[in-house]
Every structure is written in structure tokens, then in C-alpha cells.
Amino acid sequence: MSDFRSLFGRSPVVTVDAPGRVNLIGEHTDYNGGFVLPTAIPQLTQVELAPRPDDLVRVSSSQVPGQKGPVEYTLGTEVPGREWLDYVQGITLLLRKGGHRISGFEARISSTVPIGSGLSSSAALEVSLLRALRLTFQLPLDDIELARLGQRAENEFVGAQCGIMDQMAAQFADDRHALFLDARTLQFQRVPLPPDADLVVINSGVVHDLTLGDYNTRRAECEQACRILGVSQLRDLQGSGLDCLDPLPEPLKRRARHVLTENERVLHAVEAMRQGDLPRLGQLFFASHRSMRDDYQVSVPEIDLLVELAHNQAEVYGARLTGGGFGGSVVLLARAGTGPAVARRLARSYADRSGRRPTVLVPAGIGDW
């Protein structure tokens, strides 16, 4: 991809980035007002940006194969249906609707966060672009407002009904701590990652798209369960015991059971991390995956295969699907110093049995298979 000067004939005014994230545990709980535990990954999305004196927006992305030059639109004419550009359009539309004064701009987007991997490439783009616009136009947005705007762009313009975890992680997470986030209050604590363990993320090669129906269907099912039970969010049932779900028909009962038990697993995982209890943390990973596979039904055979292969490795404490599901990646917890070797063995076995080419993303630098 050409550099900014080659694309636009001048230098950028600002250059910012935001990380992708891996969610250690707490899946599909954020839009139910629950708890999540993500951490940042080394892979980043970078935005270089310079303002224009008119309302024209010109953007180029390194993640679009064969793109011959910047794509364009005029502020005030944002229309969904332009694929990756919708994330940019959604943000500019919401900023202007919110009374924020921005002009057109030119931007170059580059990223090492793989699309459709369950590692929040979309939130990394939203947050890095919003950071660049905030700096360029001196927008009076605090960090929480910035994360909320990113989520709204995805919900209201792109059409993916995601919760707030991804944008909060892109804004506040780092790669030395897990971000223990209450998605209802947006209060968070940073919990140190266990020093006696390696975190490994393996992308299955099965690409997901959260704008498609299955993810949004799961959120709608949770909302339907809330209406039947007379609560505003499934979080309201926390601590009530699973018997409170008896009035629900299937599959709503299974969906709600996953959310309630997953919230408990997040709380137990935070406790296990603080106590350095890696075997317990690993078992919570495996239990979380079973719940996503059987109750929430967001896993796919390739992901299940990766988790099964990880379960058979003596150095692995636990493994689970991470992200929205229907493809994407697994995160596994291994004994310190064994992560690279475990990742290589798993990648080879998975490639042999699935016919797909996995990518090992963490620890950084292990590479493709």
C-alpha cells in the first residue's frame, strides 16, 4: 500500500493507533449488562489523517486487496452498504448529528488486526479513527464518550448489534493487564495477567461477519427472554439461581443460562487470576467454551477442533472460543514458556485435520501456518 504522501500529496497531521483485543472470558455478556475480561493484543490499527477545507472525505485502507486509490464521500451523504467504509461513514454521521464540528479529511488506514478473526478489528478501526478526529478537530469527547460513539456507529449504521466491550478494550486495555469491565456501569479495573502463563491466540481461518444474522439473532433472543421474565437485562437475574429461567421456552432458556453462568465465570476468573490459580482459570476457559458451544450455539466445528486439540496438550490449562463466534479464534492459557511450542503443535495438527491455514497471533511474531 502506498504511503500517505503518495496517496494524498502531503504529510498527515496526526498519526494514532488502537489495539485489537482478545477476550479472555465473558462472551455475549456485555450487551446483557454483564461482565467481561478482555486484554489488548500486539496487533494494531493505525490511522494517519489530515483535514481538508471542504466536506470531502477520502480514505484508503491497507486491508482492501487491489484497492487502486482512496474512496470518497461527502459529509452529510453517508449511506450504508459500502463495506469497510461504513465504519468511517457511521462515525462521521454520528459526530455531525451530535453537533461536533468537523470538516472533510484524508485518511490512510493500516492494520495488523485480521478481519473476521474475533479480535475486534472493527473496534480498533473505530477507536483509532475517533482518536485521530478528536485530535485533529479538538473535539470535546472524553474517553468513555469516544468508546460509546464507536459502538453506536457499529449498532446504528453498520448494523452489528455488538455490546460495548470491544470499544472499551480498544480504548482502555493494555497487553499487561486484563480489563475487568462492568458493561452496565462501565466501571473497570485492571487485573495483572498471570506471570506464570502464556496466552496464545490462534485464528481458525474461518471468517465471521457480525453484521450477518446469527449474532444479531442471539441478541434478539436475549431481549425476548427479558420480556418474558419481566426484566430489562439478563444482568438483573444475576444471583437468582438458574431456576428463575424455568418460564423460558427453548432455545431462550439455553441462551439466558449461558449469560448467567458466563457472568459467574468472569467473576471467578478474576479471583483465580488474582490468586494465581491457573488450573482453576483454565477450567473456567473450558467451561466457557462448552457453554458457548451447547447453550449459546455460536461455535463451529473448526473452533471445537482447536479447543479439543488444546485440551489434549499437557501444557495447556484451558482454551475457549473468543469473540462473537461463528468462526474466528481461540484463546488458550499455557504454562509459561511453552506457548510458542504448543502453538506450533496445535497449528500443525489443526491444519492437517481441518485443511485450513491457521494463524498464530499471540505471542507476537510466531506467524502463519
Residues marked active site are found at: 166
d(Cα 20, Cα 364) in Å, to the nearest integer?
13
d(Cα 268, Cα 274) in Å, to the nearest integer?
10
Residue 271 burial (CB < 10 Å; 0-12/13-18/19+)?
A: middle
Cβ contacts of 144 within 8 Å, gap of 6 or more: 186
Return the amino acid letter for 76.
G
Question: Cis before residue 363, ω within 30 degrees of 0?
Answer: yes
Contact in structure between 28 and 258 (CB atoms under 8 Å) = yes
* 8-state DSSP, 232: S
Quote the radius of gyration of the chain (alpha carbons, Å): 21
Return the amino acid letter for 178.
A
Cell representation of residue 90: 457511521
